[in-house]
């Protein structure tokens, strides 16, 4: 036998991978031997191999090859997932290069392009894993959008819905009115800028007394559903439980108490607009307040805007300020420097917007999953991760399982006014 | 878009005007039932345009890849589920791991995997996370072209204890490639020997094989322990050390026949078996190289390929033999150092005398003789005059000067060295006796001076001993 003086990995590696594939060593079927199974953390179907994958899959291949040598029926199931948001962004970018705007396409047309993309670029990462030597059972390759896996997902949704664990709820999303899309928190850039802070007084029902609030967005007054004060604030103690009249729309809303309000900040009175502010929404939930959304998707005012209907939020802001001044209830206007969320892509100011979502109730589901990790039925390596796992599971929040398609997000105005 | 559309169908504008169904037909039935309006048609139903979070499909992954949701009791899911180990990044512990566990207990009333191994995060040398925008991530495919997949695999594992950050350094892949070459060259060395049936097995080879088998077993055990604790880098380091140090640097040297001489059949056969065992424990880490060598050793059928070979079995270990050899290694290193220091060529045979204060396993004497080219080892009762000496354990070793070095010159050289070191010691001690210096200098500086003092003292001690044995 002629043994080369130098070891040449590139030739040798392709040769042996082919040999292993040809002889079907990676394939596993149930037999009398003890199984040793790993499922791959599915990478994104359109992704390419990065160093994190290299580390992760080297370790998995070491484990599976060792198990194979030690006589186990070793089975490493490979596959990919569709991680919709990332894939979608790539398809949109590709279409843009071809001069096609996503708005010009129907859902089905867009899906067609998305699938073309997936088929063209999908699986590159799996081929790259072969270069690394990954001894996956390729006959078992799965994709989260395969028919049987999709069926599993829908079946699970129905089951959890029947069990009463899936429900419809409302959540604040970051709305980019220019791109008409929801953004993840990571896509929102907070920038410092100077705006005006408007002090407006609201009259108490059946009284000549007023309370003064401060806001940078007077147009949202039309969506107010409460005024909130701190329970320890002696100045307003006598007003709690009474109603105030929201200016312009003359809506009667209650004065409520909540620890969230900072006695020292502003006037100590907070207007609550659950549809347009994250914190207001939480206060609104605690006090079961009405939610009134005053904006259209393009950030113009809807029917709740009354005679300002159709105006852009920025125009409406000025006009409303003027109207409030004319009514004699604008106490003062001060400059304020604060942080404002803007879209990473369009630079537009983000509009916090409430939207209907699907949630999975997690508390009961999480119980066994917490116990079996804490008692080491499932072992974490290194074990230090048990701590953060417990923290999360003990304070688990319901899972928002729905995602919006950013060319097809229809925010109908939400009217959740109590009977 | 590419996502599972939510199976909820709206028949009205109200928040609760919807039904949930697996398809539009089922939804229609439910809508009729719920509203009591039998004239509703499919056209009146509008499916929620939103899609499900991707994690809502991947949380089923360990079950759904075996169709365990659609067919809960099928043969495959019953066989493969629960899976054994999950290897993933800590960042997705909540997004994914926790939810798979939840789904596992909800749908199979069982854990989805027995172990979760959280890998470190790959960072660049400056500790930054690797990302496209920073441009600080090497292209894995290019790396594999440069260093071979095996080299990169070793490089990735070299410094990545579970759950810690992995500062990636390309030189680790280079180290991996060097390891490939080391193993390759060792294999070529063995394969290059001419084998002769007429030669008797040397004693040195006998004990070398006995020792290496013990050492192999010791490593095999520690590899298992490392894997049980998911210390995979540690397991690799054990293999690396065994193959590089114990096998290549020691074992092969011990059994190597004289230049251009053949090797005896018995040793050769054992050496090949040992190499095969090495390849078996190497295979999970370096599958390509190990398979390549495996097939160069002999013609193999597909059933005999390394990938499906049988892993080495555990045997009882004689720890004493390993301990004894540790001392042998020390002796050999000492003598090699002396040869280097004194410019004594390896071809020049030396004599070695030992004062055995602690018991020595003399089976290894032949090994020492071979490795240091010593004519014989003699056991003596007293220190040898005019000799270079060193200690291992409490035993004293002497190499008589003979003609190998010029005693006069050596004494002159040592005296010179002694003078220098004594002068150096003086200056350090002067500094240390200066109260102002001791009281004001930073602690670290003082510690350094004290170390210099101790080192000089030790050095002087050694030189004096050498001078004594020469005169």
pLDDT value, residue A88: 67
Which segments of B229-362 does DSSP mark as H helices, in order? 232-241, 252-255, 265-282, 287-297, 319-341
Question: Are A200 and A298 in a shared domain?
Answer: yes
Question: Are B230 and B95 in a shared domain?
Answer: no
Question: Are B254 and B393 in a shared domain?
Answer: no
- Domain around B259: 140-308
Q: Please tell me the distance in Å from A353's CA to the nearest CA on chain B.
A: 16
| Strand segments (E) across B62-184 | 83-88, 113-118, 122-123, 166-167
- Judged by CB atoms closer than 8 Å, whether chains meet at B87 and A77 is answered as no
Question: Are B159 and B300 in a shared domain?
Answer: yes
The verdict on residue A289 lying in a domain is yes
Residue B172 and residue B153: Cα distance in Å, rounded? 10
Question: Are B32 and B80 in a shared domain?
Answer: no
Question: Are A279 and A338 in a shared domain?
Answer: yes
Give the N- to C-terminal CA distance of chain B in Å, as an integer. 92
pLDDT value, residue B402: 64
By the 8 A CB rule, do B307 and B282 touch? no
The verdict on residue A113 lying in a domain is yes
Question: Are B110 and B152 in a shared domain?
Answer: no
Question: Are A209 and A81 in a shared domain?
Answer: no
- Judged by CB atoms closer than 8 Å, whether chains meet at A16 and B22 is answered as no
- Judged by CB atoms closer than 8 Å, whether chains meet at B93 and A385 is answered as yes
The verdict on residue A406 lying in a domain is no
Which segments of B1-133 does DSSP mark as H helices, in order? 24-35, 55-58, 61-64, 75-80, 98-107
Q: Which of B308, B333, B351 is the last residue of a domain?
A: B308
The verdict on residue A387 lying in a domain is no
**Identity of the residue in B1, B177, B307 whose CB atom sits nearest the CB atom of A68:** B307
**H or E element that contains A243:** strand A243-245
Residue range B418-438: average pLDDT?
90
B173's CB contacts (< 8 A; 6+ apart) are B143, B146, B147, B151, B152, B154, B155, B156
**Identity of the residue in B292, B307, B311 whose CB atom sits nearest the CB atom of A25:** B307
* pTM for the structure as a whole: 0.81
Question: Are B152 and B268 in a shared domain?
Answer: yes
Average pLDDT, chain B: 91
Q: pLDDT of A276-294, one tens digit each?
A: 998 999 899 899 999 899 9
- Candidates A10, A156, A158: best to mutate against B (most CBs of B within 10 A) is A156
pLDDT value, residue B260: 85
Q: Which of A292, A324, A352 is the last residue of a domain?
A: A352
pLDDT value, residue A120: 72
**B404, pLDDT greater than 60:** no
Closest CA to A80 of A36, A29, A136: A136
Residue A346 and residue A178: Cα distance in Å, rounded? 7
The verdict on residue B452 lying in a domain is yes
CA–CA distance from A213 to each of A231, A322, A333, B209 (Å)? 17, 17, 12, 89
**B186, pLDDT greater than 90:** yes
**B1, pLDDT greater than 50:** no
Residues of B in contact with A410 (CB under 8 A): 49
Question: Are A193 and A332 in a shared domain?
Answer: yes
Question: Are B199 and B293 in a shared domain?
Answer: yes
Question: Are A202 and A137 in a shared domain?
Answer: no
A382's CB contacts (< 8 A; 6+ apart) are B118, B162, B163, B230
**Identity of the residue in B18, B156, B291 whose CB atom sits nearest the CB atom of A16:** B291
Of the listed ranges A355-359, B194-198, B270-274, the one predicted with least confidence:
A355-359
The verdict on residue A327 lying in a domain is yes
Residues of A in contact with B80 (CB under 8 A): 30, 35, 37, 75
- Candidates A43, A144, A148, A385: best to mutate against B (most CBs of B within 10 A) is A144
pLDDT value, residue A148: 95
Q: Which residue has the higher pLDDT, B439 or A163?
A: A163
Closest CA to B57 of A148, A397, A24: A148
Of the listed ranges A80-89, B179-188, B354-363, the one predicted with least confidence:
A80-89
CATH of the domain at A270: 3.90.740.10
Q: Which of A310, A326, A352 is the last residue of a domain?
A: A352
Q: Does B163 touch chain A (CB under 8 A)?
A: yes
**Identity of the residue in B65, B163, B191 whose CB atom sits nearest the CB atom of A39:** B65
Question: Are B96 and B36 in a shared domain?
Answer: no
pLDDT value, residue A91: 75
**A408, pLDDT greater than 60:** no
| Strand segments (E) across A138-240 | 142-143, 166-176, 181-183, 188-204, 210-215, 226-229
The single residue listed with the structure tokens 């329970």 is A231
Handedness of CA A273, A276, A282, A286 (dihedral sign): positive
Of the listed ranges A267-271, A414-418, B23-27, B381-385, the one predicted with least confidence:
A414-418
DSSP labels, A279-310: HHHHHHHHTT---B--B-TTSBB-GGGGGGTT
Residue range B110-127: average pLDDT?
90
CATH of the domain at B418: 1.10.287
Of the listed ranges A235-239, B67-71, B120-124, the one predicted with least confidence:
B120-124
**A411, pLDDT greater than 80:** no
Question: Are B323 and B342 in a shared domain?
Answer: yes
**Identity of the residue in B113, B177, B232 whose CB atom sits nearest the CB atom of A59:** B232
Split at pLDDT 50, 70, 90, the class of A416 is: very low
- Domain around A48: 9-145
- Judged by CB atoms closer than 8 Å, whether chains meet at A142 and B65 is answered as yes
- Judged by CB atoms closer than 8 Å, whether chains meet at A158 and B7 is answered as yes
The verdict on residue B195 lying in a domain is yes
**B127, pLDDT greater than 50:** yes
**A406, pLDDT greater than 60:** no
- Count how many domains chain B has: 5
CATH of the domain at A30: 3.40.50.620
Q: Please tell me the distance in Å from A224's CA to the nearest CA on chain B.
A: 21
pLDDT value, residue B163: 60
Residue range A224-232: average pLDDT?
95
- Judged by CB atoms closer than 8 Å, whether chains meet at A152 and B8 is answered as no
Question: Are A104 and A206 in a shared domain?
Answer: no
Q: pLDDT of A315-335, one tens digit each?
A: 999 999 999 999 999 999 999
Quote the percentage of chain B above a pLDDT of 70.
97
**Identity of the residue in A70, A118, A412 whose CB atom sits nearest the CB atom of B2:** A118
Split at pLDDT 50, 70, 90, the class of B357 is: confident
Chain A: residue whose CA lies nearest to B293:
A3
**A413, pLDDT greater than 50:** no
Q: Which of A352, A377, A401 is the last residue of a domain?
A: A352
Q: Which residue has the higher pLDDT, B104 or B447?
A: B104
Residue range B251-276: average pLDDT?
95
Residue range B122-148: average pLDDT?
86
pLDDT value, residue A410: 41
Question: Are B231 and B147 in a shared domain?
Answer: yes
The verdict on residue A108 lying in a domain is yes
pLDDT value, residue A34: 98
Q: Please tell me the distance in Å from B401's CA to the nearest CA on chain A.
A: 42
Q: Residue B319 is encoded by which pair of tokens?
A: 């720890």
The verdict on residue B1 lying in a domain is no
Q: pLDDT of B41-92, one tens digit each?
A: 999 999 998 889 889 999 999 999 999 999 999 999 999 999 999 999 998 9
The verdict on residue B62 lying in a domain is yes
The verdict on residue A138 lying in a domain is yes
Question: Are A32 and A105 in a shared domain?
Answer: yes
Quote the percentage of chain A above a pLDDT of 70.
94
The verdict on residue B2 lying in a domain is no
Split at pLDDT 50, 70, 90, the class of A419 is: very low
Question: Are B238 and B154 in a shared domain?
Answer: yes
Closest CA to B237 of B304, B154, B296: B154
- Count how many domains chain A has: 2
Which segments of A72-223 does DSSP mark as H helices, in order? 84-97, 107-121, 124-132, 147-162
Split at pLDDT 50, 70, 90, the class of A405 is: low
Q: Does B184 touch chain A (CB under 8 A)?
A: yes
The verdict on residue A199 lying in a domain is yes
The verdict on residue B126 lying in a domain is no
B438's CB contacts (< 8 A; 6+ apart) are B432, B446
Question: Are A223 and A117 in a shared domain?
Answer: no
Question: Are B432 and B302 in a shared domain?
Answer: no
Split at pLDDT 50, 70, 90, the class of A197 is: very high
Residues of A in contact with B67 (CB under 8 A): 148, 152
**B353, pLDDT greater than 80:** yes
Give the N- to C-terminal CA distance of chain A in Å, as an integer. 90
Q: pLDDT of B219-262, one tens digit each?
A: 999 999 999 999 999 999 999 999 999 999 999 999 999 888 99
């Amino acid at each position: 036998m002629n043994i080369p003086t130098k070891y040449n990995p590139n030739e040798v590696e392709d040769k042996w991978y082919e040999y292993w594939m040809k002889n079907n060593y990676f394939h596993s079927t149930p037999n009398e031997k003890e199984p040793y199974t790993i499922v791959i953390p599915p990478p994104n179907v359109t992704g390419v191999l990065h160093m994190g994958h290299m580390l992760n899959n080297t370790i998995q291949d070491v484990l599976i090859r060792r198990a194979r040598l030690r006589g186990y029926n070793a089975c490493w199931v490979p596959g990919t997932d569709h991680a919709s948001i990332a894939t979608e962004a790539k398809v949109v970018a590709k279409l843009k290069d071809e001069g096609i705007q996503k708005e010009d396409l129907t859902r089905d047309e867009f899906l067609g392009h998305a699938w073309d993309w997936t088929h063209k670029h999908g699986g590159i990462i799996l081929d790259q894993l072969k270069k690394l030597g990954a001894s996956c059972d390729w006959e078992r390759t799965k994709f989260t959008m395969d028919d049987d896996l999709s069926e599993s997902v829908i079946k699970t949704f129905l089951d959890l819905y029947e069990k009463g664990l899936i429900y419809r709820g409302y959540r604040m999303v970051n709305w980019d009115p220019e791109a008409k899309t929801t953004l993840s928190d990571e896509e929102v850039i907070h920038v410092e800028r100077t705006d005006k802070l408007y002090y407006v007084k609201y009259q108490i029902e059946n009284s000549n007394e007023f309370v003064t609030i401060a806001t940078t967005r007077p147009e949202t007054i039309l969506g107010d559903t409460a005024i909130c004060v701190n329970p320890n604030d002696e100045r307003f103690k006598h007003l709690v439980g009474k109603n105030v009249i929201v200016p312009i729309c003359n809506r009667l809303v209650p004065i409520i108490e909540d620890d969230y309000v900072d006695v020292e900040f502003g006037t100590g009175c907070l207007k609550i607009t659950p549809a347009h502010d994250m914190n207001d929404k939480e206060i609104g939930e605690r006090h079961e307040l009405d939610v009134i959304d005053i904006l259209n998707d393009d950030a113009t005012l809807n029917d709740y805007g009354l005679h300002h209907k159709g105006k852009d939020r920025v125009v409406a802001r000025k006009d409303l300020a003027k109207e409030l001044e004319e009514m004699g209830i604008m106490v003062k206007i001060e400059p304020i420097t604060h942080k404002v969320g803007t879209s990473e892509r369009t630079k537009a100011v983000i509009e916090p917007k409430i939207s209907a979502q699907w949630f999975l109730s997690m508390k009961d589901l999480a119980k066994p999953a917490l116990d079996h990790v804490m008692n080491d039925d499932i072992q974490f390596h290194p074990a230090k991760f048990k701590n953060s796992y417990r923290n999360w599971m003990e304070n688990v929040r319901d899972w928002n399982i729905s995602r919006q398609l950013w060319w097809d997000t229809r925010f109908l105005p939400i009217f959740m006014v109590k009977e | 878009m590419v996502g599972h559309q939510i199976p909820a169908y709206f028949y009205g504008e109200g928040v609760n005007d919807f039904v949930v169904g697996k398809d539009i037909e089922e939804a229609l039935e439910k809508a009729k039932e719920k509203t009591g309006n039998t004239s509703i048609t499919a056209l009146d139903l509008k499916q929620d345009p939103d899609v499900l979070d991707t994690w809502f499909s991947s949380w089923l992954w360990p079950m759904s890849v075996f169709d365990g949701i659609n067919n809960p009791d099928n043969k495959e899911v019953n066989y493969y589920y629960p899976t054994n180990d999950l290897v993933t990044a800590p960042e997705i512990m909540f997004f994914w791991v926790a939810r798979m566990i939840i789904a596992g207990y909800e749908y199979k009333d069982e854990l989805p995997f027995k172990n979760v191994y959280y890998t470190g995060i790959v960072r660049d040398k400056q500790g930054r996370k690797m990302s496209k925008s920073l441009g600080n991530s090497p292209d894995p495919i290019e790396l594999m072209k440069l260093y071979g997949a095996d080299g990169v695999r070793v490089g990735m594992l070299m410094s990545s204890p579970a759950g810690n950050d992995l500062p990636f350094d390309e030189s680790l892949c280079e180290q991996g490639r060097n390891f490939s070459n080391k193993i390759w060259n060792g294999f070529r060395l063995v394969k290059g020997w001419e084998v002769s049936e007429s030669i008797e097995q040397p004693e040195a080879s006998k004990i070398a094989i006995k020792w290496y088998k013990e050492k192999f077993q010791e490593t095999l055990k520690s590899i298992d322990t490392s894997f049980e604790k998911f210390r995979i880098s540690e397991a690799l380091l054990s293999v690396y050390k065994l193959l590089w140090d114990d096998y290549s640097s020691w074992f092969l040297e011990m059994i190597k026949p004289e230049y251009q001489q053949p090797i005896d059949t018995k040793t050769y056969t054992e050496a090949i078996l040992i190499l095969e065992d090495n390849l078996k424990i190497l295979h999970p880490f370096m599958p390509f190289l190990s398979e390549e060598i495996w097939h160069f050793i002999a013609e193999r059928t597909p059933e005999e390929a390394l990938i499906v070979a049988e892993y080495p079995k555990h045997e009882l270990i004689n720890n004493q033999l390993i301990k004894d050899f540790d001392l042998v290694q020390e002796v050999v290193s000492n003598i090699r150092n002396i040869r280097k220091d004194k410019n004594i060529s390896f071809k020049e045979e030396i004599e070695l005398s030992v004062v055995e204060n602690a018991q020595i396993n003399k089976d290894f004497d032949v090994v020492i003789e071979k490795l240091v080219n010593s004519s014989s080892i003699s056991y003596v009762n007293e220190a040898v005059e005019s000799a270079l000496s060193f200690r291992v354990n409490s035993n004293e070793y002497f190499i008589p000067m003979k003609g190998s070095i010029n005693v006069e010159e050596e004494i002159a050289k040592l005296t010179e060295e002694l003078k220098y070191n004594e002068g150096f010691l003086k200056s350090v001690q002067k500094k240390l006796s200066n109260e102002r210096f001791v009281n004001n200098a930073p602690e670290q500086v003082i510690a350094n001076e004290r170390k210099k003092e101790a080192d000089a003292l030790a050095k002087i001690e050694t030189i004096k001993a050498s001078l004594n044995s020469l005169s």
